[in-house]
Amino acid sequence: MTGTLAAEHTRKDAEGEVSDVNCSGVEMMLKISASNGKFKLHARDYTRVEISEDASPFQSGEFKPCAELSGKTAKITFVTVDRKAYDGEIQSIEVEK
């Protein structure tokens, strides 16, 4: 056997309206409706996700994604996953004004 993975995990961007934001501790699930599809995305620890607004990072503790992200337009970068109840793991979130 070779050391290759059975499936490629692809980095993708989705830009659109965020909805159904749910948090449990530091774990976060959300949905985004983008031009390239609708995605259900996950963050194991949203405090480790880079969150910015128009390319300027929020000050620590200023933006509360669990309470404030739903209904906003954002560009979310994520890595696709296989055999999960969601489409990808969130890498970064850029919130549009």
What Å distances lie between residue 59 and 23, 33, 54, 76, CA to CA? Answer: 20, 27, 13, 19
Structural domain that includes position 85: 11-95
- Tally of structural domains, the chain: 1
| Predicted confidence (pLDDT) at residue 10 exceeds the cutoff of 80 | yes
51 domain residue, yes or no = yes
| Predicted confidence (pLDDT) at residue 22 exceeds the cutoff of 70 | yes
1 domain residue, yes or no = no
Question: What are the tens digits of pLDDT across the range 27-74?
Answer: 999 999 999 999 999 999 999 999 988 645 555 457 889 999 999 999
Q: Give the pLDDT score at 63.
A: 80
2 domain residue, yes or no = no
Element (H, E) at 66: helix 65-68
pTM, rounded to two decimals: 0.84
* CATH code for position 60: 2.40.50.140
Q: Give the pLDDT score at 97.
A: 73
65 domain residue, yes or no = yes
45 domain residue, yes or no = yes
For residue 20, give every residue at least 6 positions away whose Cβ sits within 8 Å of its Cβ, in sequence order, or none: 29, 30, 31, 70
Which phi and psi (to 5°) does residue 66 adopt?
-65, -35
Average pLDDT of the chain, as a whole number: 88
Q: Are strands 11-24 and 56-57 parallel, antiparallel or unpaired?
A: unpaired
Q: Give the pLDDT score at 9.
A: 82
- CA within 13 Å, CB half, 37: 7
Q: Give the pLDDT score at 41.
A: 98
6 domain residue, yes or no = no
